Amino acid sequence: MSKLNLLYLTGSGESDFFCNLSRLYAQDSIQAIANNPNYDILIAYVTPDGNWKFPNSLSFEDIADSQPVSLPDAIALVITKNIDVVIPQMFCIPGMTHYRALFDVLKIPYIGNTPEVMAITANKAKAKAIVAAAGVKVPHGEVLRLGDIPTIAPKAVVKPATSDNSLGVSLVKDIQEYETALKEAFKYAEQVIVEEYIELGREVRCGIIEKEGELIGLPLEEYLVDSKNKPVRDYADKLKLGDDGNLHLTAKDGIKAWILDTKDPITEKVQAAAKKCHQALGCRHYSLFDFRIDPNGEPYFLEAGLYCSFSPKSVIPCMAKNAGISLDELLEIAIKETLK
C-alpha cells in the first residue's frame, strides 16, 4: 500500500462535551498509528463556534495555539492537502451528518457510514422500526412528545430518542415514577422512547466489519448488568470527567465490560441478528449494535452505535483484536473498503 494522506476530522460545532469526547478517542487513535510509515496525518478540529483549527496534535496546548479559520478557508486548505481518506471522529449530530456530507460534496472518501444512515440511527425509534421490519426482535415501545401519556405498563425503560452514552435513561418500576423519568429524558431530546423492559438475561454488543464483500461478525462484548443492582446501564457506566478536564472511559476496566469467548452459545445468534441490522439499515464498512438477551436466550435489538475511532480503547478494535485482527490491519481493511 502506497503512502496515504489521512485527515482526522475531530471536535464538534455543537458543544465542549462533544469536543472532549472526540478528543478522547481521536487522540488515542492518532497515537496508535503515528509510527505507521504508510500514513501522513492531518488533524482538523472543529470548535463549537463553527471555526476550524489544524493543530499538530490534540493536546489542549496545541489546540489552543492553533489559529482558527472559517469554513471556506478550511475547505480551501483541505483541498490543497490531497487527502486520500478522512477518518470521521465527530460524535455530535451535525458532525455525524453535515460534516460527512461536506466531504461527499468535496468527493473526498471517508471511512464509515453515510450521513443518511447516521441520521437514521441517531434516532433510536427510526432504527428500531427498520430492523424490526427486517425480522429482528425489538422491545415493544412507543414514541412520546412532551405532554403525551405513556401507555406501557411498568416495568419500562424511558430514554431520549436521540442521545447517546445513556444520558437521560431511566427504569420505571411503578407508574408513579413516569413523571420524573420523562422529565429527565426530555432534557436531552424532543422525542422520548418508552419501551417494555426485557428481563435479564444479559446485555451484549456486536460489531460487524466488511471485508471483500463479506460481513464478518466480531466477538461480542458483554456488559456487567444484573436484575437487582444494575438492571440498565447509565452514563456513569460509560464515561466520567476527570480532574484533569479529560473524559475517561469507565467501561474499559475488564469489570464493567469484557469480550466473550466466541464459543459462548449466544454469539452465533447475536451475530446473525447484527448482520440483518447492518443490511437493513444500509450500513457500510462497519457497524455496532447493542442487544438485550432475555432469560430464554433471545436477543432484542436496543440501538445502533455506528462509530469506530480506530483507537485501541474503542469497541470494534477491542473485538477485532480478540479475533486476531490488529488495529493496523483493521484500519487497512477499512481503508481498502472505502477506496474501492
Classified as helix, coil or strand, 326 is: coil
Residue with cell 503512502: 3
> Residue 41 domain-assigned?
yes
Q: What's the CA gap between 69 and 214, in Å, rounded? A: 41
What pTM was estimated for this model as a whole?
0.88
In angstroms, the Cα distances linking 306 to 131, 132, 148, 164, 230 are 14, 18, 30, 11, 25
Q: Do 204 and 170 sit in the same domain of this protein?
A: no
Q: Are residues 281 and 190 in the same domain?
A: no
Q: Is residue 123 one of the residues assigned to a domain?
A: no
Q: How far apart are CA 162 and CA 56, in angstroms?
A: 33
Structure-block grid coordinates of residue 159: 430514554
Per-residue buried b or exposed e for 68-106, using 16+ beta carbons within 10 Å of the residue's own CB: ebeeeebeeebeeeebbbbbbbbbbbbbbbebbbbbeee
CATH value at residue 187: 3.30.1490.20
Q: State how many domains the chain has.
A: 3
Q: What is the pLDDT of residue 239?
A: 44
Confirm whether 122 is domain-assigned: no
The predicted-structure confidence for 116-164, as pLDDT tens digits, reads as follows 999 999 999 999 999 999 999 999 999 999 999 999 999 999 999 988 7
Q: Are 223 and 192 in a shared domain? A: no
Same-domain status, 210 and 330? yes
| pLDDT at residue 248, rounded to an integer | 46
Q: Are residues 258 and 305 in the same domain?
A: yes
Identify whether the C-beta of residue 109 lies closer than 8 Å to the C-beta of residue 339. Answer: yes
Same domain, 96 and 219: no
Q: How many CB atoms lie within 10 A of CB 206?
A: 28
Residues 214 and 334 in one domain: yes
Quick one: pLDDT at residue 254?
57
Q: Mark whether 230 and 168 lie in a shared domain.
A: no
The verdict on 188 and 204 lying in the same domain is no
User: What's the gap between Cα 98 and its chain centre?
Assistant: 17
> What 8-state DSSP symbol labels residue 4?
E
Residues whose CB is less than 8 angstroms from the CB of residue 251 and which lie 6 or more positions away in sequence, other chains included: 223, 237, 238, 257
Question: Does the residue 167 lie in any domain?
Answer: yes
Strands (DSSP E) along 24-100, which ranges? Answer: 39-46, 52-53, 85-88
Are 181 and 150 spatial neighbours (Cβ–Cβ below 8 Å)? no
**Does one domain contain both 26 and 89?**
yes
246 is written with which cell numbers? 479529560
CATH number at residue 279: 3.30.470.20
Query: Same domain for 18 and 80?
Result: yes
116 in a structural domain: no
Do 69 and 47 belong together in one domain? yes
Domain that holds residue 23: 4-110
Residue 133 lies in a domain: no
| Domain annotation covers residue 117 | no
Q: At what angle do helices 266-281 and 124-133 cross, to 10 degrees?
A: 110
Domain containing 83 — which CATH number? 3.40.50.20
Tell me the C-alpha distance between 236 and 242, whole Å.
Answer: 12
Residue 253 burial by Cβ neighbours in a 10 Å radius (0-12, 13-18, 19+): exposed
Q: Which of 161, 196, 231 is the last residue of a domain?
A: 196
Asked if residue 175 is part of any domain, the answer here is yes
- pLDDT below 70 — which residues of the chain? 1, 165, 226-255
**Which residues fall within 8 angstroms of residue 64, CB to CB, at 6 or more apart?**
none
pLDDT of residue 283: 98
